[in-house]
Structure formats: structure tokens, C-alpha cells
């Protein structure tokens, strides 16, 4: 059974994950109308992934005797000066999500809710990957600079981007 405090904190995370899905969706739309098909495809996929993260939380709250809440969301930014600015915003948002997950872990430990703590470890590992991916993308964008040929290749290659993190690899 979830405490009211943990239920409230998890419902806040439900809202953050839903907002994340909307942010990625807005970025996908912007990229698509700018002719960045690869970036758009990447963002659509990320939007769905964030929605899946939200649904996982919803199911957990409900299964543990709580009541998952669907909240109103604020409209995400829908225009960007450049695709670099868009990815910088994405990175900042992923850092915010990581901080939120870390706070949830802290609350679960304070309340000695080890089931929720265990459940949240998946999100901790996921956020390590999300931040690493965003940093990798920004590094690639900085390498490209203003080179249009580089942008073309980046747009083509981003759909196949994979990032290995310490949390996702096993030692040899």
C-alpha cells in the first residue's frame, strides 16, 4: 500500500512523463516541417517512449492501492531557433527529469517503501541513458557546426543512434 505522500510524488512523476512525451512530440513536429526527417523520427520514437514510462507509473500506482491521476499539461515550446537549441532544451529537460526521479527515490527511502524504491531503479538507469544520449547528440552537433553536409548526415544517422552507458553494459 502506498502512503499518500508517495502516491502524490508518483502522480507528479506521471505528469512529468506525460509532459516529456508532449515536449518530444512538439520537437518532432518542428523537425518534420523543417525537413529533418531523421530527427523527427527520433523524436516521435522518444515521445512514445516517454508515454510508455508514464503508463508504467500509472499501472504501478494503481496496483499498489493508490489512484493514478491524469493532470492538465502546459503547452510545450513548439518553435526553436535551430536544431542545436532544440537539443540543448531536450538535455536540460532530461536533467530535470533525472532530478525528479532522484527525489522520488529519496522519498521512498525516507518512508522505507522498498518496493517503490526497487521499482524506481529502472527509472534511475533509464535516466542515465537518456542524459548520456542527449550529451552524445550535443557533442555530434557541436562537431558539425554550420556544415550543411554534416547536418544531412546527422539527420540520416540519428535514427540509428545507440549509446552505451556504464549502467547498460556488462563488464567483460
Q: What is the pTM of this model?
A: 0.91
Residue matched to cell numbers 536533467: 95
- pLDDT tops 90 at residue 171: no
Q: Are 2 and 113 in contact (CB under 8 A)?
A: yes
Spatial distance between the Cα atoms of 115 and 84, rounded to a whole number of angstroms: 40
Q: What integer pLDDT is reported at residue 63 of this predicted model?
A: 98
Q: Give the fold, CATH level 3, of 4-160.
A: Ferritin (1.20.1260)
State mean pLDDT over 9-33: 98
Distance of CA 116 to the CA centre of its chain: 20
Domains of the chain, by residue range, sit at 4-160
The string of pLDDT tens digits covering residues 50-91 is 999 999 999 999 999 999 999 999 999 999 999 899 999 999
Amino acid at each position: 500500500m502506498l502512503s499518500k505522500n508517495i502516491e502524490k510524488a508518483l502522480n507528479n512523476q506521471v505528469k512529468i512523463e506525460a509532459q516529456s512525451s508532449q515536449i518530444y512530440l512538439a520537437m518532432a513536429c518542428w523537425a518534420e516541417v523543417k525537413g529533418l526527417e531523421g530527427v523527427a523520427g527520433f523524436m516521435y520514437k522518444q515521445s512514445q517512449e516517454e508515454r510508455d514510462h508514464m503508463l508504467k507509473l500509472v499501472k504501478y500506482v494503481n496496483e499498489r492501492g493508490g489512484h493514478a491521476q491524469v493532470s492538465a499539461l502546459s503547452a510545450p515550446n513548439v518553435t526553436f531557433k535551430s536544431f542545436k537549441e532544440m537539443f540543448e532544451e531536450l538535455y536540460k529537460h532530461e536533467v530535470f527529469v533525472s532530478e525528479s526521479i532522484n527525489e522520488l527515490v529519496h522519498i521512498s527511502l525516507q518512508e522505507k517503501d522498498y518496493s517503490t524504491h526497487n521499482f524506481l531503479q529502472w527509472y534511475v538507469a533509464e535516466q542515465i541513458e537518456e542524459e548520456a544520449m542527449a550529451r552524445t547528440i550535443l557533442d555530434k552537433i557541436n562537431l558539425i557546426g554550420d556544415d550543411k553536409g554534416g547536418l544531412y548526415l546527422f539527420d540520416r544517422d540519428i535514427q540509428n543512434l545507440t549509446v552505451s552507458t556504464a549502467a547498460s553494459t556488462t563488464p567483460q
